[in-house]
Amino acid sequence: MAGEQVLIVEDNEKSMKLFRDVLTAKGYRTLEATTGGRAVELATEHGPDLVLMDVRLPDTDGVEALSRLRANERTASIPVLALTAQAMQGDHERFLATGFDGYISKPVDVLEFIGTVRKHCDGRDR
Partner 1 sequence: MSDARAAPERADPVGKRRLPGPGDNALVRGVGRLPAKVHTKLLIAFVGTAVLVVAVGLLGLRVLGESNDRVGRLGALQERAFAYGKLQSQISDVRLLLTENPGQDFFDVNPGWVPTGRELNDIAIDQAVANALTRIPPATLVDRLGFVPPAEDRSVLRRIRAKIGQLSAVMREILEPANRRAPAEQQRRLRNRAHQVAIDLNRLATVLVNSTTAKTDDLIAQNASSYESSRNLFIGVAVGAIILALLLGFVLSWSVIGPIQRIDSRLAAIASGDFSGHVDVDNRDELGALGANVNRMNDELSRLYRELETTSRHKSEFLANMSHELRTPLNSIIGFSQVLRERMFGELNEKQEEYLDDILSSAHHLLSLINDVLDLSKVEAGQVELEVAPFSLRDALESGVVMVRERATIDGVQVALRADPDVDLVEGDERRIRQVIFNLLSNAVKFTPAGGAVDVSAAQVNGEVRVSVADTGPGLAPEDHERIFEEFQQTGAGVEQREGTGLGLALSKRLVELHGGRIWVDSELGKGSTFVFTLPARSSSNGR
Residues that bind partner 1 (CB under 8 A): 12, 14-15, 18, 21-22, 25, 56, 85-90, 106-111
Q: Which residues contact 32 (CB under 8 A, 6 or more apart)?
A: 7, 8, 10, 16, 20
Q: How far is the CB of 112 from partner 1 (least distance, A)?
A: 10
Least Cα distance to 11 among 43, 29, 37 occurs for 37
Q: How many CB atoms lie within 10 A of CB 42?
A: 19
Q: Which CB sits closer to partner 1, 13 or 125?
A: 13
Q: Which CB sits closer to partner 1, 15 or 35?
A: 15
Cα 117 to its chain centre, rounded Å, is 9
Q: How far is the CB of 12 from partner 1 (least distance, A)?
A: 6
Q: Which CB sits closer to partner 1, 16 or 80?
A: 16
Q: How far is the CB of 89 from partner 1 (least distance, A)?
A: 7
Q: Which CB sits closer to partner 1, 25 or 76?
A: 25
Task: Round to whole Å and give the CA distance between 81 and 41.
Answer: 17
